[in-house]
Structure 1
Amino acid sequence: MRWHDYPDREMLHLSLANTIAGQLADYLRREGRATLSVPGGATPGPVFDILSGVDLDWPNVAVVLNDERWVPEDSPRSNTRLLRQRLLCGKAATARLIPLYQPGAAQPEDVLDALSQGLAPHLPISVLLLGMGFDMHTASLFPGADRLAEALSPQAPPLLPMRAEAAGEPRVTLTAPVLRGAINIHVLITGPEKRAAIERAASLPLDQAPIRVILDQAEVHWAE
């Protein structure tokens, strides 16, 4: 784990967005395409705002969420909705969204194969940005979730449905092999409580602190 402290959140957002844009640009030059995976929630919003205004070869960038709640896109709980409002706009409007939700499907199991097939051509992830909850979950890898052990296995498929008391709705999540297979991994956290949590995670079993699955490879970006 490489740690980056910032004097304030504005500096964190600017620096992290610049780092992500630079890594995407490098990958686009080398490979002609790139994949960016990002979290939902409010914390990364300012980073999305900055990235959406960056000059990149966005038509050759695939964007996929770390996880998605099984709710329609017009729901305020939808991560895809946030992504369209904050990242897939401006100059980044031409990026390709890889969906983790399919309208009309009652549950993720019904369309998991199709979602997985849509994701497969865009792996490995070029740049992975993750968040972390106070319970040390990342993506939808929640302590106590119904399929957590399967999702943390090195043999896990790229996507799995996940249900957990803390999650609310059923979800679809990227699994450990996909997260660990990313070329560049960043974790964005703010505030003293999350700093204490991520430091504590290193000494806990993986099923109690799923964020540990990528910590040995990650750059952690933190501000008060």
Structure 2
Amino acid sequence: MTPDLVEYPDREMLTISLANRIASQLAQHLRTNDQAVLCVPGGSTPAPVFRTLSGADLDWSRVTVLLNDERWVDRDSPRSNSALLARNLFQGPAAAAQYLDLYTGAPTPADAAPALAEQVSAVLPITVLLLGMGNDMHTASLFPRAEGLAEALSHDAPAVMAMTGGDEAEPRVTLTLPALKSALWTHVMITGTDKREALERAADFDPQAAPIRAFLDDATVHWAE
């Protein structure tokens, strides 16, 4: 078990507390900096956090938002993480945020990755990073023993790489270890017994087998059943 694990009595308390902490850290950064960067996961688990965070009293026009990773699908696809952000985060005050879209419409992720790496590098470091984790201990689109994972987890990796993996094995782009590790504050959000057990297993694994392990030493993990 990671020592930086915060347990909540229910998911509603997790949602409220985590959204408030993210908003507070962004506000703290903006008091002494012109810009802040928020990097978030896709998927349904963090959607309630996004909805709560969207109403935060921040100067959102000075916040750049980007995803940890994105599936190579059009915005109108139900698989699009960008579409999920549009529905849940970019509402109310947060609609004023700047969005760095990882999906460019290029034929393949590999075609787009070099230019995306330059764009992401230009906004680094990340101010607040929120990560999720799958039952297989992947995070972002860094999947256990995936082709290219060793390069993506190297300290000299480009900021963005094309990757495949997961049950769908669909093409994706992902931020890599050096980009994600640039964050000033890192949070991992997980729910349910299965993911709690996976997290505990990951603590004893190599990042090649459990990519989330590469980020746990710097992270606060937020968990509710």
Q: TM-score, normalised by structure 1?
A: 0.97
Contact 1:162 1:171 in 2 (8 A): yes
Residue 163 of structure 2 aligns with which residue?
162
Q: What per-residue deviation string (whole Å, max 9, x for no partner) do you get for residues 45-101 of structure 1? A: 000000111110100100000000000011000000001110011110010111111
Alpha-carbon distance between aligned partners in 2 of 1:54 and 1:206, rounded to the nearest angstrom? 34
SS of residue in 2 equivalent to 1:31: coil
CA distance 1:178–1:213, shift in 2 (3 Å): same
* Greater Cα shift, 67-76 or 198-207: 198-207
Cα distance between partner residues in 2 of 1:126 and 1:132 = 20
Equivalent pair of 1:145/1:164 in contact (CA under 8 Å) = yes
CA offsets per residue over residues 16-55 of structure 1, 9 Å max, x none? 0000000000111111210000000000000000011111
Secondary structure (helix, strand or coil) at the match of 1:42 reads coil
In the superposition, the TM-score normalised over structure 2's length comes to 0.97
- Alpha-carbon contact 1:142-1:166 (below 8 Å) kept: no
Query: Runs of 4+ in structure 1 displaced over 4 angstroms?
Result: none
CA distance in 2, matches of 1:167, 1:19: 33
Distance in 2 between residues matched to 1:86 and 1:55, nearest whole Å: 16
Q: CA deviation at 1:158?
A: 0.6
> Are the structure 2 counterparts of residues 143 and 167 from structure 1 closer, same or farther at C-alpha, using a change threshold of 3 Å?
farther
Instruction: Provide the C-alpha distance between the structure 1 equivalents of 2:165 and 2:145, rounded to a whole number of angstroms.
Output: 7
- List per-residue Cα deviations over 1:96-140 (Å, max 9, x = no partner): 11111112x110111222212221221010000000000000000
Matched ranges for 1:13-92 at <5 A: 13-92=15-94
Partner Cα separation in structure 2 for residue 122 and residue 165 of structure 1? 28
Task: Please list every run of 5 or more consecutive structure 2 residues that lacks an aligned counterpart in the other structure.
Answer: none
Give 1:28's aligned amino acid. L
Amino-acid identity (%): 57
Asked if structure 1 preserves the Cα contact closer than 8 Å seen for 2:118 and 2:159, the reply is no
Distance of 1:168 and 1:30 partners within structure 2: 42
Which residue does 1:219 correspond to in 2? Answer: 220
CA RMSD of aligned residues (A): 1.0
Give the Cα–Cα distance (whole angstroms) in 1 for the partners of residues 178 and 119 of structure 2: 17
Q: Amino acid of the residue matched to residue 54 of structure 2?
A: S
Q: Distance in 2 between matches of 1:216 and 1:222?
A: 16
Distance 2:113 2:190 in 1: 30
In structure 1, list runs of 5 or more residues that go unmatched.
none
* Closer/same/farther in 2, CA of residues 91 and 135 from structure 1, 3 Å limit: same
- Matches of 1:223 and 1:57, distance apart in 2: 30
Query: How many residue pairs get matched?
Result: 223
Is the Cα–Cα contact under 8 Å of residues 99 and 115 in structure 1 kept in the other structure? no
Task: Determine the C-alpha separation between the residues in 2 that align with 1:211 and 1:217.
Answer: 11
Contact 1:125-1:183 at 8 Å conserved across structures: yes
Q: Displacement, 1:165?
A: 4.9
Letter in 1 for 2:177: A
How many angstroms does 1:168 deviate by? 2.7
Q: Which residue number corresponds to residue 112 of structure 1? A: 113
Q: Is the 8 A contact 1:142 1:167 kept in 2?
A: no
CA distance in structure 2 between the partners assigned to 1:145 and 1:166 by the alignment:
12
SS across alignment from 2:200: helix
Correspondence for 2:175? 174
